[in-house]
Each structure stands twice: as structure tokens, then as C-alpha cells.
Chain A
Amino acid sequence: MNNLYHSIYSRYYEILLHVLRKSHKAPIPVKAIREVIQEKGFSETEYELLNKLISSDNDSYGLLKETEVGYVPLLKQAPERVITLQEYAWLKVALDDERMQLFLSDELLNKLQVILKDVKPLYDTSNLKTEDIFATINTEFDQNIRAHFKKALYAIQNKKALRIHYESKKGNRLNSDFLPLEMRYSLKANKFQIEMIGLKHHKSKRFVLNTDGIITSKVIEYNESIAEKKIGYIKDYVEIEISNMRNGFERCFFQLSMYERESRFDEDSGKCFMKLFYNKNFETEILITLMSFGPAVKVNGPERFRSLFLKRLTAQYNTSSFLNESEDEIN
């Protein structure tokens, strides 16, 4: 029996913690209690919780007392959160993962290992396998990679620029100043990517660089104001129809659930129509993902994306005559 779904993790406990802390500083009016619930709670929480906090009847939680100046807590001190053993046990698993080295210094890692020395890891990671992850995964991070990673994080967080010498897997070299905008982690590639804007020679051009391709990096000042439009990603969409051949709905919906989308089921045709939104930087990926579904998915638009899809199909039509080998056919 596990305790993942436990009442101490309930949002209501968390709300009460904030109310009790506030009321410990000074008596708190109903309005302020309501504000905490509205800020921290779910959309219907106020109707259910407020009365249980402020009323004095037997159904209330009995942890606040009404006075002339507002509600005061019955507790002697402001409450602290508690940490359960399974939370520490979860952290113990995370600390043994090489990727944690990117975030923590050796000193802190060692300190935490001592702090948690008597804690058994929550689970044995060797019993969990990952399928379809890239084959040549780099799971070791040397001091250089760790330093570049930390500088990139620092630069994004503090709106600084980076002077980078970079070599891509394709062998392309870059030596320039960039403004890092965002860092993204791909679970399939086990890679951290930084989306950047070129500042000097490549002014305003967008780049997506892998952190393991950085050879040297230096944080530098950047004083120009960043235009908002540059920070946002370029959002595009594709419209598809999905048929339920060979359980196509389930295959497609599961795999495409990582994207933002609008879907509707057409009862007459028995097909689903979906508008799929994606980051234009990753257009090729969405293109081949849709291709992988075969005839279960048809790309309807927009025309530009459809033509990219058709280009590959047409190239295939022109490439080979292997479809003429009728002995392989099935009905």
C-alpha cells in the first residue's frame, strides 16, 4: 500500500497552512481568508472550504477563532510543512541520476548523500526501462558540460547573454554572442536544448543549440531590451483527419497527446478531425510523426504543410518500383 494519494497532500491542507500562517502574524478578516482560498484553491474550493474555516459549529475544522478584530489561530506557532519519508526516498533516487550533476555542485551532492544516508531509495530504477530513447545517450557529464549548463541557466534566468563557441553534431561551427531564451529537455533524446537569438553576426536569427555541443561559454552583459515577440516561439498548426483503422484512434491520440490540440468526432464519417499546434522549430518531427501513422492519418491543411507531406510521398512514388511486386500483397 502506498501513500501517494494521501490527505496530507490535499490542497485544502495547503490552503489552511497559508491561512494559519497569516493569522499568526495578525488577526485575519474573512476577506483575506477568501483571497487565500481563491489564490491557492481549485475553482470550487471556496464554496466548500470557507465555511469550514470560519464557522464555529461542530462541522468546522476548529482551528481558527473569531475575535472582534478578525480570526486568530488556535495554534501556538505558525505551522511548518512536513516532509514524508517517501519524499526523501524519491529524492534519493533522483540524486543517483547523473543528470542531477548538472543542477547541483559536488559539494551539495555529497552533503545530501550524507543527509539521506539512512533513506532507502523509493524504487529500484533497474526495474524501469525506457524504450525508443536514442541509442547513443550521453549519461556522463564532465565538469565542462556542467559549467556550460549552469552558465546557460544563469543567463536565461538573469537575462544575460552568452559568448559561445559551438560545434553541432553535423559539424557546423558557431562562434558568436547569443541571447538564450529558453531551455528545453527532450526525454527521447536525453538532451538539453537552448533556444537562442543571435546578437552579433547572426543578428535576430534563431538557433537551437544542444548543451553538449558547447565548447566554450562565457556570460556577458546584454543591455538592449528584449522585444516580447522574440521571446515567444513561433506557433503553427496542422489539420488532420484520423480514421480508426487498426485502432488508429488510440495510437494517434496517445502519441499526439504531447501536443496542444482541438479535436472533434464526426459521427457521419466515423473519423476524428484534429487541429494540432506545434512549435515551428520542430516541424520536421511532427511531419515524420504524422507520416508514421500511414493511412490512418490524412493531412488536410494548411496547404504549406500539406505540400511538405506530399513532397515526401511524391519522392517515394518516384523513388522505387517495389510496390509492383504483387507476391507480397495482402487483401
Chain B
Amino acid sequence: MSNFQELIKKFDRIRDFSRDFLVYGIRTRNTQNIKSKRSYDNEKRRIESFLSDYMVETSHVSGKSVNISINPEEMTMNPLFALWETKSFTKNDIFLHYVLLDILENSNKMSISDIYDEVIEYIDEDHQMMDMMTVRNKLNEYEKLGILTKHKDGKQFLYALRTNRFDSLSDEEKMELKQGIDFFSNIMSFGILGKFLSRNLNDSESQTYQMKYKHYFMFHTLDDELLFDVLRLIENEQKGMFETWNKTNTKIIKKLCTPLMVITNVKHGRRYVVVYDHSSKNFYSLRLDKLKKVSCQEVDSEFENYLEELKKLKVDSWGVYLNRTNTTEHICMTLKINEDKEQYMIKRILLEGKHGILEKVDENVFEYHIDIIDTYEIIPWLRTFIGRIIDLKGTNKKAVGMFKNDMRWMYKMYEIDGECLNE
């Protein structure tokens, strides 16, 4: 590892490893599903450097596993944001960044040749001279990023530095805005941009109150680069070639799809791109974390029709399972709820029960029933009522049977039987 470099060119090199270290943290170098052990060593070393305060190493028979361990009670800003600050660059990139800003700081508009003349004044005798094309490319790149303006003046272009739009805000207003931005950095997509914006408002990071978060899946930030591309496709109503990992993460599958919406599940932590798949002519939910690449294809003239159909299907969906069969399954759960003492339980069902209906059928007995596309999706939620379920019936006999078999399994696991109950 003598040529080890801390920074990297492409984010996807650390994306999968960091998620694995954060979500699982149990795989060792020998049990990782990877092609190159050397690549594993390099990426592990990088992530250990980027997130050194959160890395925990555990020894196993098969080697050491690495875990990114973050206590949410101590987290006020997503620590994984650090991974976005690891992009490599050339010495010309960083040199020109500071020199161009220095040149344009006190100038109005300058032509490329005037800027170039000034740039070479900054280069000392120990450093190689750079050509005008390098400077021009950087100016055009910064114009696209919105850092510079570019105007045509006769035969030449003039460049100028854009003013900081927050200059007109008072210090108090900046702090007020920073507080809001810090909050949204954690809860909104592309939160890393909020973090970068926030440091422009105040260099001292400790002056605003840092909130804490519940039901927060910090690894979502790792997929933001792909999310951005997917959202662009949706906005432009374009098809995309989606390259995703298969279920066992061993093979990449390519699908031509039209993305229609992105769904974030705040309970399970998964994010999905809901697409119309042109080969199977059906709707699917593709896991965003399993998405490897998406490339832009032609505009889909049927986009609006697919979206309309999807919205109708979504009405009957408990989660993200969708299909075009136009059939729903019915499930009915009878519950014991003490109306005097357990109003919170009724409120919970109303809050979490989606389009299902809760009805009182007897004193302290309620029925919750719902029509959904796939009964299996609701089962984890039904299990949260264990202890008060009087009956469970549904049209999907296999799914209901699975629920009941699981209950028996749990009784066996915990040795709950008549004898134990009599104690």
C-alpha cells in the first residue's frame, strides 16, 4: 500500500463499503463478497481515516470485522457527510481555485487573456507553467457551478465573481438561517449541500443549538448522487438504463425503465425508485441502495399514463409492492383494546394504519381491516400488536398461515406453553 492516497476520484468506491460497515459491520476481509482483497484494504483504510471517531474493530475466527458505530443520541449532524469531502483533485485544480478567486475578488469583469496574464504572475520558478486552456476550462467549470458569471463582450467572454447572496443578511439573520439549514441538512435529501451552505454562514459551528433525531437513517446520504440522477430523469420524463445488484449482490442486472417516483420508508430505512419496467411491462420498486448506475435514455411519451396508473395502484399498496393484476387481498385483525385506559392504542392504529378502517365490534374489542395488494407487507406491523390479537383472518391464506406459524415458532423459542403460563 505504498501508493496509498487518501482522496478518491469516484464516490462509488467508498459507497458500498461504508454502507456495509455501518449497516452490517459483521463481515471480515475473508467473508466479504469482493473481487479484490487489496481494494478492500484500501477502501477500509480510507473509511477508517474519514470516520476515525466512529470505527470499531472486532476480532472473529475468520478475521476482523469493521463497524461504523454511531450513537444517535450524540449525533447532531450526519457523520457520513464527511465522505462527500473526499474527492481527489490535481494541484492545478486547487491552485486555480484560490488564485482565480483572488484575481476576480477585486475586479469587475475580466477577459480570459487578462486573467491568464495575472495567473502566471502567481506561478513561481519552481512550478511548471500552465497553458491558457487549463485556465479557460476552470473558468467555464466555475461558471457552470454558479461561482462565476460569463458574458459575451464583442468577440470575447468576460468573467466575474458572483456575489455572495447572503451578504445583505445581518449576523443575527445568518445565525437564524444557519439553525434552519442545519436542521434541513439532516432531514432533507442532498443534505450535504446544506452542510456546505451552513459553514458559509458562520465559521464557528457551535453557536446554534444542534437538535437530535429519531428514525433517522444516516446511510441515505450515500445514495444521493444516484438519487439526483433519478430525479432528473423523472423531471424530464425520460427512460433510464438502470444497473442494479441482484438479491445476493453477486450480479449486476440491466433494465430499461421509466422512473416515476422515489419512496423513502421511514420505518425500514429503505429507499426505492418506483419504475415502469419496459421488458416485463409492469411496475417495480427498485432499491436505491442496490442501484449501481443509471444512464439517461430517450423521453418516454407514456410517462403521464404510467404515473396515473401507478397512483391508482399506490392507493391499495401497504408498502412498495405493486403489480397490474388489479386484485387486492383483504385482511382483518380483531384486537382487545381497553377503551378507558388504552386510547393511545386506538390513536396509534389511526396514525399508522394507512387506509385501513378501525371499527368497534364489542366492548373493548375492535376490528381493523384493510384491502391491500400484498398481505405479506403488512405482517411486520401486525406483529407489533402481539399481546392483544384476538383473531386474524385474510383472503391470502398463505400469508395468514405464515403469521400463525411464526407465532407458534415464537412460543417455542421462548418456551411459552401451559406449564410456563401456570407459574
Contacts and interface: CB of A to CB of B under 8 A. Distances in A.
Given A82-B101, A257-B219, A320-B389, A185 B26 contact: no
Interface in A83-112: 83-88, 90-91, 93-94, 97, 99-100, 102-105, 108, 111-112
Contacts of B147: 82-84
A253 B389 contact: no
Contacts of A314: 416, 420-421
A63 B390 CA distance: 74
A62 interface: yes
B296 to A, nearest CB: 9
B231 interface: yes
Interface size class of A (residues with CB under 8 A): 35 or more
B26 A186 contact: no
B155 interface: no
Interface in B352-393: 352-354, 379-381, 383-384, 386-392
Interface string B301-344: 00000000000000000011000000000000000100000011
Interface stretch (B33-41, B176-184, B238-246, B276-284): B176-184
Nearest to A322: B391
Contacts of A295: 406, 409-410, 413
A143 interface: no
A318 B420 CA distance: 12
B193 A128 contact: no
Contacts, number: 414
B134 interface: no
A3 B11 CA distance: 11
A150 B159 CA distance: 43
Interface stretch (A28-36, A197-205, A221-229, A264-272): A264-272
Interface residues of B, number: 151
B52 A42 contact: yes
10 nearest CB pairs, A to B: A85-B146, A103-B180, A7-B89, A312-B387, A90-B193, A132-B267, A11-B85, A188-B215, A43-B52, A186-B214
Given A83-B200, A257-B218, 17 more contacts: A7-B87, A7-B89, A8-B145, A9-B84, A16-B98, A74-B99, A77-B102, A136-B351, A171-B343, A187-B187, A249-B24, A258-B72, A263-B24, A264-B65, A292-B383, A313-B411, A328-B401
Interface of A: 2-14, 16, 20, 42-45, 48, 52, 56-63, 65, 74-77, 79-88, 90-91, 93-94, 97, 99-100, 102-105, 108, 111-112, 115-116, 122-124, 127-136, 153, 156-157, 169-171, 182-189, 192-193, 233, 235, 247, 249, 251, 253-255, 257-265, 267, 272, 277, 279, 282, 288-289, 291-295, 298, 309-320, 322-323, 325, 327-330
